Structure 1
Amino acid sequence: MNLRERWNLHVARAMEQDRLVALHRTRRRRRLLVVAGAASVLLLWADAAVSWAIAPSDTAVRVNLVLLVVMLAIYIPVVTALNSATRGLASLPESHLDERQVTERLRAHTYANSVMRLILAGLAVFVVVATWSEGEESHIPAAAVFLGVFALWWTHFLLPLLVAGWRLPDPPPDDDRDDDRDDEQDDDQSDDQAGVA
């Protein structure tokens, strides 16, 4: 077993454990997690915009670091909870998923791809409009380009998980209560039959 297979097996086992269940128990809570995840991505885009506006400067560096720390503080628990809720739908290889999960993963990737195309088109329009008036004299700081590409990559990476978390239905209600009621009724019926005999 090579390193990649061991890692995938470790991740698959970790996804079987219920973590942060209180955060993703209901569909409403999962959707709040998705909104928080989208906010963390928007912080990266804001970071690129700040770099475009005020870089190069010490203020830009400080603002960039603060935004990155806040983004990570939001991102880590959100992604952990969404991965737990989706049972690794977006992060595990296909060989570790069942047919339903593979189908849902394909739907999430398809929808995320459509959204990503809209983001790319919007970004292209924004860059053209923002640099149009300056023509050949336009200048975009290297930090803004780097952070913009990083935000684009991060969006592409996280979007399928956000889509899967948004689409995930509530699990069916536990049948434990129904089983307990059935057992009590069976006991009552057997007591009645024993009393008759």
Structure 2
Amino acid sequence: MRADEQRPPTEYDRWMHRLMNRREAAPFHATAARRRTMVTVHVALTAVAVALWLCSAVGDERWATFSVLGLLLPWCFVTGVINSSTRGLLDLRVRALDERQRAERSRVAATAQRVMLWLLLAVTVAAGAATVNSVDVEGFLFPVLFTVFVIHWLMPLWVAGLAVEDEPADEAFDEFAGAVDAR
């Protein structure tokens, strides 16, 4: 066990735990189909944002910059829903997680690493095939590397969002929440 895992949770850890365990977003991720939909929407929003940003950066198109800004709010909302569905699995410090969550976090990281390994292999094979066929890949280098970087950054979130299981109906919590709301 690492030293930071042994330290007691701080006020920040408790605040983040409360934030990640709020129930307001529960209707958006209550079922596996809704979680898959949210992850799919997040992947689509990310793909469009990356394409627009590359159009802005490489193509020098000013309209694309404003389009990226327009996608920012829905992208952040869907990111929050996925984080809420995982109960902050990737955002909370290790010392704020229980043993089951630590194991789940390790499984998510391992799965995301395997998926990225295959993606990097595919990109490498494609670049090698293009080079063998005398295709100039220099113009594609930055866009492909940037896209792979973004996918690498977000893959654990997507894997965690897809790996979360349905929560059992917690009648005791619902009764407690109803009693608190009645005050």
Using structure 2 for the length normalisation, give the TM-score. Answer: 0.72
| Superposition map of 1:105-184 within 5 A | 105-134=105-134, 139-140=138-139, 145=142, 147-175=143-171
Mark the CA change 1:124 to 1:41 in structure 2 (over 3 Å): closer, same or farther: farther
Is 1:43–1:67's contact at 8 Å kept on the other side of the alignment? no
Q: Secondary structure at the match of 2:23?
A: coil
Q: Could you tell me how far apart the structure 2 residues matched to 1:39 and 1:25 are?
A: 21
Shift of 1:33: 0.7
Mark the CA change 1:56 to 1:21 in structure 2 (over 3 Å): closer, same or farther: closer
Identity of aligned residues (%): 29
Using structure 1 for the length normalisation, give the TM-score. Answer: 0.68
Aligned letter for 2:92? L
Query: Which structure 2 residue ranges, 5 or more long, are not aligned?
Result: 1-9, 176-183
Whether 1:11 and 2:16 are equivalent positions in the alignment is: yes
CA RMSD of aligned residues (A): 3.1
Q: Secondary structure at the match of 2:139?
A: coil
| Superposition map of 1:74-85 within 5 A | 74-85=74-85
Shift of 1:117: 0.7
Is 2:82–2:157's contact at 8 Å kept on the other side of the alignment? yes
The runs of at least 4 aligned residues of structure 1 exceeding 6 Å deviation read: none
Aligned letter for 1:158? L
Whether 1:35 and 2:40 are equivalent positions in the alignment is: yes
Number of the residue aligned with 2:68: 68
Q: Could you tell me how far apart the structure 2 residues matched to 1:7 and 1:150 are?
A: 32
Aligned letter for 1:32? T
Query: Which has the larger helix fraction?
Result: 1
Q: Give deviations 1:104-155, integer Å, cap 9, x for gaps.
A: 11111111101001111122233334455556x66427xx61x543332322
Q: Could you tell me how far apart the structure 1 residues matched to 2:138 and 2:150 are?
A: 24
The structure that has the greater radius of gyration is: 1
Q: Could you tell me how far apart the structure 2 residues matched to 1:55 and 1:165 are?
A: 30
Q: Give deviations 1:55-79, integer Å, cap 9, x for gaps.
A: 85444x544x256335534421111
Moved more, 65-74 or 17-26: 65-74
Counting matched residue pairs gives: 164
Query: Which structure 1 residue ranges, 5 or more long, are not aligned?
Result: 180-197
Q: Give deviations 1:26-49, integer Å, cap 9, x for gaps.
A: 11111111111222333355457x
